[in-house]
Chains A and B, each alone.
Chain A
């Protein structure tokens, strides 16, 4: 009988284009990041009420870091994941604090040490960006950021080219938080070290313990005694 497929014997698959390979790799990385995020949400959804307190933050952050363990991704994949969190519905939908902690965990786990995120591209204002950023890492945020920027900063450098919300530098231990415009209330609440530089105005200072806070180039904490 006639071979109904005979014309296709000579078929040779096209050589994959470099762009196709790059896109496939990015898709694969995004898929793995999405799975990690879903693992975090699955774990955190067990909490009936999500309260922002030290224990809950540490737990959620640890889960996020665990979920990201072994995932190989780049800053571009991180941006893609932010876009995914910004637009997705369903299981991958953005959930305020856990989403912000997940992005912070990604920033702390990504191979590159110099990270730039353009927040102007996103509708959401995630909290806790720069959470526990370790020494040797630099996070540059373009546009306005949400609350708790640079919380528990651990020696890294967070530069915000815009305004930030309340509790900037909450409990930070070391490092530099540089805000190009203004910050909200309780700036530097509970900070134990490091420096916060706000180029614009500070809504109100929090109860800082140690470290330095500058407003428009003037040191406001510890308050300088007039000589």
Chain B
């Protein structure tokens, strides 16, 4: 299947989602196209096998978006997707999330694990993750990060999976999400209110879940899963085929097969970043990790007033960007460029995904957040602050992009042994370049 055919199929799936299943305003605009950010980022997450944190008020479709996208991209009826959902609540246990001992075999003196549907299924949804107490959030850290689940000295590794977690805004029953858990999410997106008029239509429609339900497939899947006679892949493929036939009949569309998903993933991964996009990501990472006084950003070190780099983002944030950040930016910018039918990832694609990859990861200085809080905005504060920061970094980058690109080019040649003068400039990226060339300034 040629590249455009896969994209066309995914776009038709998005069309089905946005027109018949999940109504929301298009709030994401790029290259003349508009999409609903919740749906689009959920779709990109399912395609790249990423992790998305969907936040919003209760009842605005956080879990629904994840369920519908998961069902269509992975070809599983909603009943199966529901079986793999985990609810975040204080009494949640490892046995309910990961797996439990096989009691029958235990009685016979054997140790065996019955893995949970959540651990086994490729679409994982943690509903209201911030109702998990901080102490229990670490239960899912490794599983979320690598798809690796451990119980009773046994390990289950997911070859292919995507993860969605939903979170309400702070109330009496919620807990703070610990930074290591937050950092494991690639993107944060808000499920927004669709507006009075679309909300009225949603009320008129009622639940649209029936379109993605198929009781016979669901029952067959659960029975096969519990028999465990066949491998999980076989069971999933059988269910997908049955469900695909039903869906074709209902709306003329097929969900993606595993082979198609792999092909799409390969296409997305093959898209290169052009040099400007590459340099922009480096400029962002430099501003989020550089510290002229303490060597790098650390959440335990306090940035002082009067620092030369006060105008840069490093002064406004408290923590350091993790190595997961560039990976998230890279994957989602590639996925967005693929969605838009581009052969290269341009700086605009990076710029568009950046707020969603930064919002949950950055720990802002209080004064910065207080200033942003009073601004007029359409998004939750963290996303708004990340968007403003993205705009500021981009402005700085754009003004000096030719000089930065030249500096990186010179650095490449110095690194390979040429005798050239060191690149000089004010942006933290210059200092990072000098460090990488072993020419750090003496303190």
- Interface pair B436/A4, CB less than 8 Å apart: yes
B346 to chain A, nearest CB (A): 15
Task: Give Cα A9 to B413, complex, Å.
Answer: 6
- Interface pair B412/A6, CB less than 8 Å apart: yes
Interface of A is mostly: loop
Q: List 27 A-B contacts (CB under 8 A).
A: A3-B412, A3-B415, A4-B415, A5-B408, A5-B409, A5-B411, A5-B412, A5-B415, A5-B433, A5-B436, A6-B412, A7-B275, A7-B278, A7-B412, A8-B278, A8-B279, A8-B408, A8-B409, A8-B411, A8-B412, A9-B409, A9-B412, A11-B275, A11-B406, A11-B408, A13-B406, A14-B402
Q: Is B419 an interface residue (CB 8 A)?
A: no
A16's nearest neighbour on chain B, judged by CB, is B402
Interface size on A, residues (CB 8 A): 10
Task: Give Cα A13 to B402, complex, Å.
Answer: 7
Task: Give Cα A152 to B409, complex, Å.
Answer: 59
- Interface pair A8/B275, CB less than 8 Å apart: yes
B402 surroundings in chain A (CB, below 8 A): 13-14
Binding site for B on A (CB under 8 A): 3-9, 11, 13-14
A11 surroundings in chain B (CB, below 8 A): 275, 405-406, 408-409
**Residue of A6, A8, A14 with most partner-chain B CB within 10 A:** A8
Task: Give Cα A3 to B436, complex, Å.
Answer: 9
Instruction: Across the A-B interface, give the 5 residue pairs with the lowest CB-CB distance, nearest first.
Output: A5-B412, A11-B409, A8-B408, A9-B412, A8-B409
Interface size on B, residues (CB 8 A): 15
A3's nearest neighbour on chain B, judged by CB, is B415
A9's nearest neighbour on chain B, judged by CB, is B412
Q: Which residues B178-203 have CB closer than 8 A to chain A?
A: none
A10 to chain B, nearest CB (A): 8
Task: Give Cα A168 to B413, complex, Å.
Answer: 66
B323 to chain A, nearest CB (A): 13
B408 surroundings in chain A (CB, below 8 A): 5, 8, 11
Task: Give Cα A146 to B441, complex, Å.
Answer: 57
Task: Give Cα A8 to B416, complex, Å.
Answer: 12
B265 to chain A, nearest CB (A): 22
Q: Which residues B395-441 have CB closer than 8 A to chain A?
A: 402, 405-406, 408-409, 411-413, 415-416, 433, 436
A11's nearest neighbour on chain B, judged by CB, is B409
With A3-B412, A5-B415, A5-B433 already in contact, 18 other A-B pairs whose C-beta atoms are closer than 8 Å = A3-B416, A5-B408, A5-B409, A5-B436, A6-B412, A7-B275, A8-B275, A8-B278, A8-B279, A8-B409, A8-B412, A9-B413, A11-B275, A11-B405, A11-B408, A11-B409, A13-B402, A13-B405
A3 surroundings in chain B (CB, below 8 A): 412, 415-416
Task: Give Cα A6 to B414, complex, Å.
Answer: 11
B275 surroundings in chain A (CB, below 8 A): 7-8, 11
**Residue of A3, A4, A5 with most partner-chain B CB within 10 A:** A5
Task: Give Cα A6 to B416, complex, Å.
Answer: 9
B433 surroundings in chain A (CB, below 8 A): 5
